[in-house]
Structure 1
Amino acid sequence: MSILSGSRRRAVIAFIFVTAVLDIVAMGIIIPVFPSLIEEFVGSNAEAGWINGVFVALWAGMQFVASPVIGSLSDRYGRRPVILLSCAGLAADYVLMALAPSLWWLALGRLVAGVTSSSFTTVFAYMADITAPEDRARGYGLIGAAFSGGFVLGPLVGGFLGEISPRAPFWFAAGLSGVAFLYGLLILPESLRPEKRMAFSWRRANPFGAVKLLGSHPELTGLATVNFLLHFAHHVFSAVFVLYAAYRYGWGPWQVGALLALVGALDMTVQGVLVGPAVKRFGDRAVMVFGLFGGAVGVACMGLAPTGILFTLSMVPNALWGLAMPTIQSLMTQRVSESEQGQLQGANMSVASVAGVVSPLFFGAVYAFSLRADSWLPYAGASFLIAAGVLLAGAILGWVVAKQAERREQPA
């Protein structure tokens, strides 16, 4: 564990929280306007659906390649420089997208963003450095709350700025990422002691080599699969949420931004307030399974909601899947050494990135197909119903993995 302790550790966690909030606010700001900007270039809501899916897949594909490298670099050189470089890179990338004159420039921006945002793996590794194993679910819950807090502010600000100009949110995001860089430069200490660092190796840093770590323990493999299913389902939001809300309920950037802010507020409450007490009372595994099941119910309700009010109310059970994210992370970190935390988070991000490549393409295609006049699936909410089924499969698999782990842990 890190040399940080007591009040110093609490202060560092606060610094990480604020830095994460600034980063995610910057990312959340562009969500309400990015699909609309694509639609301006192509002139069609349905075509914008699959193109937006392609762009999300590009972003995730770069994360798949870059995350293990960045995780391994943080194991070798420390967490702080990786986090700082990411903030600076994101600032430059938002400027690039603000000036983008065509879809090709936007595509380039998403590729760069996929690399620079891969340092989220380092944020999770940082938390593992400074917390005891039994406290990591709560620590990851706080990071999740920071991300959610960013998504409360980001879409609200982005929706407001998007009413002025679809380019304005990108400039504001660039400024926030620059602030995050300066904040981290002045405040953030290093968390990984030199004697705990591991030599960099391309064998471990390439995505396929990093994922081998997940096969080193039966429960790690099962949890990695659950993690994949969770991220696969979650990308229904990035692929079709904004377009679906505009098509089904006639909502513009402001309404979508406000709803995404509500989603973030609920998720922040779940991860920042409920995770710690729930894990203490019921344990990581039970909380993980319950969160996945609750998320499945919420997403299914979203796909079935006939009105905007019911769609909004569906966000309440949907927020429960925030219980699953930190508990999966906690369970996995307890099964690798301190020097492998960066590699583990890189492998986790690679798994999430594979889901991020396949899922937006899939959900974007399903959404576009569902709007065709000759579709055999003429229901615009089909993507959400499929995502609910994926989450339910994750809950069942998580329950099976938990039962198998309990049997292995029982004394002979």
Structure 2
Amino acid sequence: MRLPLIFVLTTVMIDAMGIGLIMPIMPNLLVEVQGGSLADAAIWGGILSTAFAVMQFLFSPVLGSLSDAYGRRPVLLISLFIMALDYLVMALAGSLWLLLIGRLVGGITAATHATAGAYIADISKPAEKAANFGLLGAAFGAGFVLGPLIGGLLGEMGTRAPFYAAAVLAGLNFALGWFVMRETVTDDTRRAFDWRRANPFGAFRAMASIPGIKGLLWVYFLYSVAIYVYPAIWSYFTAEQFGWQPQMIGVSLAIYGISMALVQGWLLRHVVRWVGERRTVIWGQVFDFVAFGILAVITSGNLALALIPISALGALVQPALQGLMSRAVADNQQGELQGVMTAVHALSMVVSPLMMTAAFAQFSDRDTAYYLPGAPFLLALVLMIIGCLVFLRTRPSVT
């Protein structure tokens, strides 16, 4: 299973890299395509990002359910093939509407995180699931670090270069998967595709009917909204509070990505073995309490940098939650579950930036009654505390 696992982890990494690869060049690309000011480009950039997240929300359960019915292999390979073509279209796009279509299609193909998670569940023993889900998180963290770095370098060659690079990466991984990926869905675990359960709302209702899962999904949503405070306002917060320039902001994000990859790829399996999945979730939330509380009032940039590894320890929560939920559902529902979780995460990516940036704008304005640029972290802290209370009251049946 080593080569298939490498293929699946690489797919997740490319999903993360694909987003980061194009971030450094999007402002210049949008100005190049439509003309106008950087402010106009920012508006369209927000539209493109929201369109991507909405498609992930809508189609993650669809791809997850399709993988339960037809297998992980065809869903992953077809998505990668379309992803490669989509990046080529975006590389050649000469209008905003074509870029928008490209982001809509990209959001659908990037919804394969659900299928990748289902594959991990297929090959993992119950006690190994949380640790192996951590490998997915580590792969995503690696992509989060590498994407912007490579995108920035390639951006020096032109605004279209990162798209061509993303297309090549997706194409090469498609070729690898074609030769090494083996199907893990068997006749015993195959489940017929049902549109009523494949849409995000129907899939959520189906999962919520399983004892304990509904509460854990709410915990996962609250956690995702809270933790998204970092990508939502970190650049603005550190520039306002510490006077950081883009280079320093990039370095801090890279440190966070590397720390998160180490936590989920290495530390997690040891923590789960020592204290179990439930306590791992609680400890991860405690580290988030500490990080959010300090960041809300901190005034030292050096202290903020030193705090990053502690902040990254909060990454223990997600894979441990995934492990608990995966153990509570049947083998023929793994794709559906992972689809629901990916949809919940995508929904948080729509909700959180709106909440966090609004809080930052309100409390960082020079005319505000109470100046506190770290206010979004207080909001994240409240959400995390609510999630922890819900988690303590929820006990799913596990195998």
What is the TM-score of this pair, normalised by structure 2?
A: 0.87
**CA offsets, 1:166-207, max 9 Å, x none?**
544333222222222222122211111133211111111111
CA distance in 1, matches of 2:270, 2:37: 49
Percent identity over paired residues: 38
Q: What letter matches 1:135 in structure 2?
A: E
CA distance in 2, matches of 1:168, 1:384: 36
Q: What letter matches 1:21 in structure 2?
A: M
Q: 1:175 aligns with which of 153, 168, 173?
A: 168
Pair 1:277 & 2:270 matched: yes
Q: Is the 8 A contact 1:293 1:391 kept in 2?
A: no
Shift of 1:69: 1.1
Shift of 1:295: 2.3
- Partner in structure 2 of residue 137 of structure 1: 130
Q: 2:83 aligns with which of 71, 85, 90?
A: 90
Distance 1:61 1:22, change over 3 A: closer
Distance 1:33 1:287, change over 3 A: farther
CA distance in 1, matches of 2:264, 2:119: 18
**CA offsets, 1:374-409, max 9 Å, x none?**
5556544333332233223323322332xx56xx89
Distance 1:98 1:315, change over 3 A: farther
- Partner in structure 2 of residue 29 of structure 1: 21
Query: Where do residues 114-263 of structure 1 align in structure 2 (5 Å cutoff)?
Result: 114-162=107-155, 165-246=158-239, 249-252=243-246, 254-263=247-256
Segments of 5+ residues of structure 2 without an aligned counterpart are: none
- How many equivalent residue pairs? 395
Shift of 1:59: 2.0
Shift of 1:222: 1.1
CA distance in 2, matches of 1:287, 1:359: 24
Shift of 1:87: 1.7
CA distance in 2, matches of 1:377, 1:43: 32
- Partner in structure 2 of residue 6 of structure 1: none
Shift of 1:104: 4.5
Q: 1:317 aligns with which of 310, 330, 343?
A: 310
Q: Is the 8 A contact 1:159 1:256 kept in 2?
A: no
Q: Is the 8 A contact 2:9 2:139 kept in 1?
A: yes
**CA offsets, 1:191-234, max 9 Å, x none?**
11133211111111111110012322342111101110121123
Shift of 1:235: 2.6
Shift of 1:247: 5.3
CA distance in 2, matches of 1:273, 1:379: 36
Segments of 5+ residues of structure 1 without an aligned counterpart are: 1-8
- Partner in structure 1 of residue 325 of structure 2: 332
CA distance in 2, matches of 1:179, 1:348: 28
Q: What letter matches 2:286 in structure 1?
A: F
Q: What letter matches 1:251 in structure 2?
A: Q
Shift of 1:115: 0.8
Q: What letter matches 2:138 in structure 1?
A: A
Q: What letter matches 1:73 in structure 2?
A: L
Greater alpha carbon shift after TM alignment, 82-91 vs 134-143 = 82-91
CA distance in 2, matches of 1:365, 1:126: 38
Shift of 1:283: 0.6
Q: 1:20 aligns with which of 12, 35, 48?
A: 12
CA distance in 1, matches of 2:196, 2:309: 43
Query: Where do residues 49-60 of structure 1 align in structure 2 (5 Å cutoff)?
Result: 52-60=45-53
CA distance in 1, matches of 2:84, 2:7: 19
Secondary structure of the structure 2 residue equivalent to 1:194: coil
Secondary structure of the structure 1 residue equivalent to 2:384: helix
CA distance in 1, matches of 2:225, 2:56: 15
Root mean square deviation of aligned Cα: 2.9
Q: What letter matches 1:154 in structure 2?
A: G
CA distance in 1, matches of 2:279, 2:164: 43
